[in-house]
Protein backbone atom coordinates (compact mmCIF):
# COMPACT_ATOMS: atom_id res chain seq x y z
CA UNK A 1 0.00 0.00 0.00
CA UNK A 2 2.83 2.41 0.91
CA UNK A 3 4.50 1.57 -2.40
CA UNK A 4 1.35 2.54 -4.33
CA UNK A 5 1.06 5.79 -2.41
CA UNK A 6 4.67 6.58 -3.29
CA UNK A 7 3.97 5.97 -6.97
CA UNK A 8 0.96 8.30 -6.86
CA UNK A 9 3.08 10.97 -5.23
CA UNK A 10 5.94 10.61 -7.72
CA UNK A 11 3.79 10.28 -10.84
CA UNK A 12 0.39 11.84 -10.04
CA UNK A 13 -0.75 12.41 -13.64
CA UNK A 14 0.36 9.00 -14.94
CA UNK A 15 -1.14 7.25 -11.90
CA UNK A 16 -4.44 9.09 -12.32
CA UNK A 17 -4.62 8.10 -15.98
CA UNK A 18 -3.91 4.45 -15.14
CA UNK A 19 -6.54 4.54 -12.39
CA UNK A 20 -9.12 5.96 -14.78
CA UNK A 21 -8.28 3.39 -17.47
CA UNK A 22 -8.46 0.57 -14.93
CA UNK A 23 -11.81 1.80 -13.65
CA UNK A 24 -13.18 2.03 -17.19
CA UNK A 25 -12.00 -1.52 -17.84
CA UNK A 26 -13.78 -2.80 -14.73
CA UNK A 27 -16.97 -0.90 -15.65
CA UNK A 28 -16.78 -2.37 -19.16
CA UNK A 29 -16.56 -5.91 -17.77
CA UNK A 30 -19.49 -5.27 -15.42
CA UNK A 31 -21.56 -3.80 -18.26
CA UNK A 32 -20.82 -6.72 -20.60
CA UNK A 33 -21.72 -9.23 -17.89
CA UNK A 34 -24.99 -7.43 -17.15
CA UNK A 35 -25.73 -7.16 -20.87
CA UNK A 36 -25.18 -10.93 -21.23
CA UNK A 37 -27.56 -11.68 -18.33
CA UNK A 38 -30.18 -9.30 -19.70
CA UNK A 39 -30.04 -10.64 -23.28
CA UNK A 40 -30.15 -14.31 -22.34
CA UNK A 41 -32.34 -14.40 -19.25
CA UNK A 42 -34.26 -11.13 -18.70
CA UNK A 43 -35.03 -9.63 -22.10
CA UNK A 44 -38.41 -10.83 -23.39
CA UNK A 45 -38.53 -12.64 -26.71
CA UNK A 46 -40.45 -10.83 -29.43
CA UNK A 47 -43.67 -12.23 -30.84
CA UNK A 48 -42.40 -13.62 -34.15
CA UNK A 49 -45.80 -14.23 -35.71
CA UNK A 50 -47.03 -10.77 -34.70
CA UNK A 51 -43.92 -9.12 -36.15
CA UNK A 52 -43.63 -11.10 -39.38
CA UNK A 53 -46.69 -13.27 -39.91
CA UNK A 54 -50.20 -12.92 -41.25
CA UNK A 55 -52.92 -15.44 -41.93
CA UNK A 56 -51.47 -17.81 -44.53
CA UNK A 57 -47.84 -16.75 -44.10
CA UNK A 58 -45.14 -19.31 -44.90
CA UNK A 59 -41.75 -20.16 -43.46
CA UNK A 60 -39.31 -21.90 -45.82
CA UNK A 61 -36.58 -24.02 -44.26
CA UNK A 62 -33.75 -25.68 -46.19
CA UNK A 63 -32.13 -28.82 -44.82
CA UNK A 64 -35.46 -29.38 -43.11
CA UNK A 65 -35.73 -33.16 -42.85
CA UNK A 66 -33.59 -33.52 -39.73
CA UNK A 67 -31.61 -31.78 -37.00
CA UNK A 68 -31.69 -28.02 -36.61
CA UNK A 69 -33.79 -27.53 -39.74
CA UNK A 70 -36.54 -29.86 -38.54
CA UNK A 71 -36.67 -28.19 -35.13
CA UNK A 72 -36.95 -24.78 -36.82
CA UNK A 73 -39.93 -26.19 -38.74
CA UNK A 74 -41.65 -27.31 -35.53
CA UNK A 75 -40.88 -24.12 -33.64
CA UNK A 76 -42.27 -21.91 -36.40
CA UNK A 77 -45.28 -24.19 -36.93
CA UNK A 78 -46.02 -23.87 -33.22
CA UNK A 79 -46.02 -20.10 -33.69
CA UNK A 80 -48.62 -20.33 -36.48
CA UNK A 81 -46.60 -20.30 -39.72
CA UNK A 82 -47.26 -22.63 -42.62
CA UNK A 83 -44.15 -24.69 -43.28
CA UNK A 84 -42.35 -25.52 -46.52
CA UNK A 85 -39.60 -28.10 -46.05
CA UNK A 86 -36.79 -28.19 -48.62
CA UNK A 87 -34.39 -31.14 -48.55
CA UNK A 88 -32.92 -33.76 -50.88
CA UNK A 89 -34.35 -37.05 -49.57
CA UNK A 90 -38.04 -37.48 -50.40
CA UNK A 91 -38.82 -40.19 -47.84
CA UNK A 92 -37.20 -38.38 -44.92
CA UNK A 93 -38.67 -35.03 -45.91
CA UNK A 94 -42.17 -36.40 -46.38
CA UNK A 95 -41.94 -38.23 -43.04
CA UNK A 96 -40.89 -34.98 -41.35
CA UNK A 97 -43.75 -33.13 -43.06
CA UNK A 98 -46.32 -35.68 -41.86
CA UNK A 99 -44.94 -35.53 -38.32
CA UNK A 100 -45.21 -31.73 -38.26
CA UNK A 101 -48.69 -31.78 -39.83
CA UNK A 102 -49.96 -34.24 -37.24
CA UNK A 103 -48.47 -32.25 -34.39
CA UNK A 104 -49.80 -28.92 -35.68
CA UNK A 105 -53.00 -29.66 -37.66
CA UNK A 106 -53.96 -25.98 -37.88
CA UNK A 107 -51.21 -25.11 -40.37
CA UNK A 108 -50.29 -26.19 -43.91
CA UNK A 109 -47.14 -28.15 -44.74
CA UNK A 110 -45.56 -28.72 -48.15
CA UNK A 111 -42.24 -30.04 -49.42
CA UNK A 112 -39.83 -29.24 -52.22
CA UNK A 113 -37.17 -31.82 -53.06
CA UNK A 114 -33.80 -30.33 -54.01
CA UNK A 115 -30.31 -31.84 -53.86
CA UNK A 116 -28.12 -28.79 -53.35
CA UNK A 117 -25.02 -30.80 -54.16
CA UNK A 118 -26.15 -30.59 -57.78
CA UNK A 119 -26.88 -26.88 -57.74
CA UNK A 120 -23.39 -25.86 -58.91
CA UNK A 121 -23.84 -27.63 -62.27
CA UNK A 122 -26.36 -25.07 -63.53
CA UNK A 123 -27.38 -22.67 -60.74
CA UNK A 124 -29.79 -20.59 -62.83
CA UNK A 125 -31.79 -23.61 -63.92
CA UNK A 126 -31.61 -25.34 -60.53
CA UNK A 127 -32.87 -22.41 -58.47
CA UNK A 128 -35.40 -21.34 -61.07
CA UNK A 129 -36.94 -24.80 -60.71
CA UNK A 130 -37.25 -24.25 -56.95
CA UNK A 131 -38.87 -20.86 -57.56
CA UNK A 132 -41.32 -22.48 -60.01
CA UNK A 133 -42.12 -25.26 -57.51
CA UNK A 134 -42.92 -22.69 -54.82
CA UNK A 135 -45.19 -20.83 -57.21
CA UNK A 136 -46.97 -24.02 -58.34
CA UNK A 137 -47.59 -24.99 -54.72
CA UNK A 138 -49.11 -21.53 -54.03
CA UNK A 139 -46.44 -20.67 -51.48
CA UNK A 140 -46.82 -16.95 -51.95
CA UNK A 141 -46.72 -14.97 -48.71
CA UNK A 142 -43.22 -15.94 -47.57
CA UNK A 143 -42.51 -14.35 -44.20
CA UNK A 144 -39.44 -16.32 -43.11
CA UNK A 145 -36.51 -18.03 -44.83
CA UNK A 146 -34.15 -20.26 -42.84
CA UNK A 147 -30.96 -20.98 -44.81
CA UNK A 148 -30.00 -24.09 -42.87
CA UNK A 149 -28.76 -26.60 -45.45
CA UNK A 150 -25.08 -27.36 -45.17
CA UNK A 151 -22.30 -29.92 -45.13
CA UNK A 152 -19.08 -29.97 -43.17
CA UNK A 153 -15.62 -31.41 -43.50
CA UNK A 154 -12.90 -31.54 -40.88
CA UNK A 155 -9.72 -32.18 -42.83
CA UNK A 156 -6.10 -31.34 -43.39
CA UNK A 157 -6.17 -28.79 -46.19
CA UNK A 158 -3.34 -30.34 -48.22
CA UNK A 159 -5.08 -33.72 -48.39
CA UNK A 160 -8.69 -32.57 -48.81
CA UNK A 161 -10.31 -34.10 -51.88
CA UNK A 162 -11.44 -31.67 -54.58
CA UNK A 163 -14.86 -33.35 -54.39
CA UNK A 164 -15.18 -32.43 -50.72
CA UNK A 165 -14.14 -28.84 -51.35
CA UNK A 166 -16.69 -28.63 -54.14
CA UNK A 167 -19.39 -30.03 -51.83
CA UNK A 168 -18.63 -27.44 -49.15
CA UNK A 169 -18.97 -24.58 -51.62
CA UNK A 170 -21.98 -26.09 -53.42
CA UNK A 171 -24.05 -26.68 -50.30
CA UNK A 172 -22.85 -24.08 -47.81
CA UNK A 173 -22.67 -21.05 -50.10
CA UNK A 174 -24.81 -21.52 -53.21
CA UNK A 175 -28.16 -22.28 -51.50
CA UNK A 176 -27.77 -19.42 -49.02
CA UNK A 177 -27.02 -16.90 -51.76
CA UNK A 178 -29.47 -18.14 -54.40
CA UNK A 179 -32.39 -18.98 -52.08
CA UNK A 180 -32.10 -15.51 -50.55
CA UNK A 181 -32.04 -14.02 -54.05
CA UNK A 182 -35.22 -15.95 -54.96
CA UNK A 183 -37.14 -15.07 -51.81
CA UNK A 184 -36.13 -11.46 -51.05
CA UNK A 185 -38.11 -9.91 -53.97
CA UNK A 186 -41.24 -11.70 -52.69
CA UNK A 187 -40.58 -10.43 -49.18
CA UNK A 188 -40.24 -6.85 -50.38
CA UNK A 189 -43.79 -7.02 -51.72
CA UNK A 190 -45.27 -7.87 -48.33
CA UNK A 191 -47.06 -5.42 -46.05
CA UNK A 192 -45.09 -6.68 -43.04
CA UNK A 193 -41.42 -7.09 -42.32
CA UNK A 194 -39.84 -10.44 -43.13
CA UNK A 195 -37.05 -12.49 -41.62
CA UNK A 196 -34.04 -14.38 -43.00
CA UNK A 197 -31.82 -16.53 -40.75
CA UNK A 198 -28.48 -17.80 -42.07
CA UNK A 199 -26.82 -20.76 -40.37
CA UNK A 200 -23.23 -19.77 -39.81
CA UNK A 201 -20.88 -21.29 -37.24
CA UNK A 202 -18.57 -20.49 -34.37
CA UNK A 203 -15.77 -21.42 -36.78
CA UNK A 204 -16.64 -18.21 -38.67
CA UNK A 205 -15.89 -16.12 -35.58
CA UNK A 206 -12.19 -16.94 -35.40
CA UNK A 207 -9.84 -19.12 -37.48
CA UNK A 208 -9.42 -22.79 -36.51
CA UNK A 209 -6.97 -25.29 -38.01
CA UNK A 210 -8.58 -28.03 -40.13
CA UNK A 211 -11.81 -26.02 -40.39
CA UNK A 212 -10.33 -23.69 -43.03
CA UNK A 213 -12.69 -24.28 -45.95
CA UNK A 214 -15.72 -25.05 -43.79
CA UNK A 215 -15.16 -21.94 -41.66
CA UNK A 216 -14.68 -19.80 -44.77
CA UNK A 217 -18.03 -20.93 -46.22
CA UNK A 218 -19.73 -20.18 -42.92
CA UNK A 219 -18.10 -16.76 -42.84
CA UNK A 220 -19.79 -16.12 -46.19
CA UNK A 221 -23.19 -16.81 -44.60
CA UNK A 222 -22.36 -14.49 -41.72
CA UNK A 223 -21.17 -11.68 -43.97
CA UNK A 224 -24.14 -12.01 -46.33
CA UNK A 225 -26.58 -11.63 -43.44
CA UNK A 226 -24.77 -8.59 -42.05
CA UNK A 227 -24.51 -6.83 -45.40
CA UNK A 228 -28.11 -7.49 -46.42
CA UNK A 229 -29.39 -6.36 -43.02
CA UNK A 230 -27.98 -2.93 -43.89
CA UNK A 231 -29.30 -3.03 -47.46
CA UNK A 232 -32.86 -3.94 -46.42
CA UNK A 233 -33.00 -2.25 -43.02
CA UNK A 234 -36.56 -1.69 -41.88
CA UNK A 235 -38.00 -4.11 -44.44
CA UNK A 236 -36.26 -7.45 -43.82
CA UNK A 237 -34.52 -8.56 -40.64
CA UNK A 238 -31.43 -10.73 -41.14
CA UNK A 239 -29.91 -12.86 -38.40
CA UNK A 240 -26.69 -14.92 -38.52
CA UNK A 241 -26.82 -17.92 -36.18
CA UNK A 242 -23.29 -18.94 -35.14
CA UNK A 243 -23.51 -21.88 -32.74
CA UNK A 244 -20.69 -23.99 -31.39
CA UNK A 245 -21.21 -27.77 -31.21
CA UNK A 246 -24.85 -28.91 -31.36
CA UNK A 247 -25.85 -32.55 -30.90
CA UNK A 248 -26.85 -33.36 -34.50
CA UNK A 249 -25.71 -35.79 -37.19
CA UNK A 250 -23.02 -33.18 -37.87
CA UNK A 251 -21.39 -33.49 -34.46
CA UNK A 252 -22.32 -37.13 -33.74
CA UNK A 253 -22.38 -36.76 -29.98
CA UNK A 254 -24.89 -36.38 -27.17
CA UNK A 255 -25.66 -33.10 -25.36
CA UNK A 256 -23.22 -32.55 -22.50
CA UNK A 257 -21.26 -29.62 -21.17
CA UNK A 258 -21.13 -27.01 -23.91
CA UNK A 259 -22.57 -29.37 -26.54
CA UNK A 260 -26.25 -28.39 -26.59
CA UNK A 261 -29.31 -30.06 -28.10
CA UNK A 262 -31.03 -28.78 -31.22
CA UNK A 263 -34.08 -27.49 -29.34
CA UNK A 264 -31.98 -25.22 -27.13
CA UNK A 265 -30.06 -23.98 -30.17
CA UNK A 266 -33.20 -23.06 -32.10
CA UNK A 267 -35.10 -21.51 -29.20
CA UNK A 268 -32.01 -19.52 -28.19
CA UNK A 269 -31.81 -18.20 -31.74
CA UNK A 270 -35.51 -17.31 -31.97
CA UNK A 271 -35.27 -15.52 -28.63
CA UNK A 272 -32.82 -13.05 -30.24
CA UNK A 273 -34.85 -12.48 -33.43
CA UNK A 274 -35.66 -8.81 -33.94
CA UNK A 275 -33.20 -7.69 -31.29
CA UNK A 276 -29.83 -8.22 -32.95
CA UNK A 277 -28.21 -9.23 -36.22
CA UNK A 278 -26.07 -12.12 -34.99
CA UNK A 279 -26.30 -14.66 -32.21
CA UNK A 280 -24.58 -17.75 -30.87
CA UNK A 281 -28.03 -18.98 -29.87
CA UNK A 282 -27.80 -20.61 -26.46
CA UNK A 283 -26.15 -18.82 -23.53
CA UNK A 284 -23.54 -21.58 -23.28
CA UNK A 285 -22.38 -20.77 -26.78
CA UNK A 286 -22.23 -17.07 -25.93
CA UNK A 287 -19.71 -18.04 -23.28
CA UNK A 288 -17.82 -20.15 -25.84
CA UNK A 289 -17.69 -17.21 -28.24
CA UNK A 290 -16.41 -14.86 -25.55
CA UNK A 291 -13.74 -17.39 -24.54
CA UNK A 292 -12.61 -17.91 -28.14
CA UNK A 293 -12.40 -14.19 -28.82
CA UNK A 294 -10.79 -13.10 -25.56
CA UNK A 295 -9.00 -15.99 -23.86
CA UNK A 296 -8.17 -18.87 -26.19
CA UNK A 297 -4.64 -18.86 -27.58
CA UNK A 298 -3.61 -20.18 -30.98
CA UNK A 299 -2.15 -23.25 -29.30
CA UNK A 300 -5.43 -23.94 -27.48
CA UNK A 301 -7.37 -23.69 -30.73
CA UNK A 302 -4.90 -25.93 -32.51
CA UNK A 303 -5.06 -28.54 -29.73
CA UNK A 304 -8.87 -28.59 -29.83
CA UNK A 305 -8.90 -28.86 -33.62
CA UNK A 306 -6.30 -31.67 -33.61
CA UNK A 307 -8.35 -33.64 -31.08
CA UNK A 308 -11.50 -33.18 -33.16
CA UNK A 309 -9.65 -34.20 -36.32
CA UNK A 310 -8.20 -37.29 -34.64
CA UNK A 311 -11.62 -38.35 -33.35
CA UNK A 312 -13.10 -37.89 -36.82
CA UNK A 313 -10.33 -39.92 -38.45
CA UNK A 314 -10.67 -42.71 -35.88
CA UNK A 315 -14.43 -43.02 -36.39
CA UNK A 316 -14.15 -42.34 -40.12
CA UNK A 317 -16.94 -39.78 -39.74
CA UNK A 318 -15.10 -36.97 -41.48
CA UNK A 319 -18.05 -35.84 -43.54
CA UNK A 320 -20.92 -34.19 -41.73
CA UNK A 321 -24.19 -33.24 -43.28
CA UNK A 322 -27.29 -31.31 -42.34
Q: Catalogue the active-site residues.
A: 214
Q: Are 236 and 195 in contact (CB under 8 A)?
A: yes
- All residues at 6 or more sequence positions from 90 whose CB lies less than 8 Å from its CB, including other chains: 111, 113
Residue burial 78-114, b: 16+ Cβ < 10 Å; e: rest? ebbbbbbbbbbeeeebbebbeebbeebeebbbbbbeb
Task: Give 279's strand partners.
Answer: 241
Task: Give Cα 259 to chain centroid, integer Å.
Answer: 15
Q: Residue 275 contacts by C-beta under 8 Å, 6 or more apart in sequence?
A: 39, 43, 46
87 with 149: CB under 8 angstroms?
A: yes
Could you give the CA distance from residue 253 to residue 245 in angstroms, rounded to a whole number? 9
DSSP letters, 203-242, are GGTS--TT-HHHHHHHHHHHHHHHHHHHHTTTTEEEEEE-
Q: What is the Cα–Cα distance from 89 to 158, expressed in whole angstroms?
A: 32
Task: Quickly count: other Cβ atoms within 10 Å of residue 31's Cβ.
Answer: 10
Amino acid sequence: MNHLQSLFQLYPITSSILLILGSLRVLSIIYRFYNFLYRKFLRPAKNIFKNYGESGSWAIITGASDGIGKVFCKSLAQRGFNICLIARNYDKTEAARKEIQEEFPGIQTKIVIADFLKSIENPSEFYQRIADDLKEKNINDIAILINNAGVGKISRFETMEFKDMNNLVSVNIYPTAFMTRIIVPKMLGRSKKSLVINLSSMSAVNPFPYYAVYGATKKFNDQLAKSLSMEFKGRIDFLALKPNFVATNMVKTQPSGFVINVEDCVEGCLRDVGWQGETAGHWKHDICEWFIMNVATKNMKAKTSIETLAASENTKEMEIKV
